[in-house]
Amino acid sequence: MLTRKQHELLMFIDRHLQATGFSPSFEEMKEALALKSKSGIHRLISALEERGFLRRRHHRARALEVIRLPGDPAGRDRSAALPPVPASGAPANATPALQPAFTPNVIRGDFSARMPGVRTANDAAAVQLPMYGRIAAGLPIEALRDEHEQIDVPTALLSGGEHYALEVAGDSMIEAGIHDGDTVIIRRGDTAENGQIVVALVDENEVTLKRLRRRGNSIALEPANARHETRIFPADRVQVQGRLVALLRRY
> What is the distance between the alpha carbons of residues 158 and 156, in angstroms, rounded to a whole number?
6
The whole-angstrom separation of Cα 52 and Cα 71 is: 13
Centroid of chain to Cα 82: 26
Minimal CA–CA distance to 150: which of 178, 126, 125?
A: 126
Catalytic annotation present for 159: no
Which residue spans within 44-83 are E strands per DSSP? 54-56, 64-66
Which entry of 23, 30, 38, 172 is annotated as an active-site residue? 172
- Sign, CA dihedral 153-159-165-166, equals negative
Q: Is 46 assigned a catalytic role? A: no
Residues that are catalytic:
172, 210
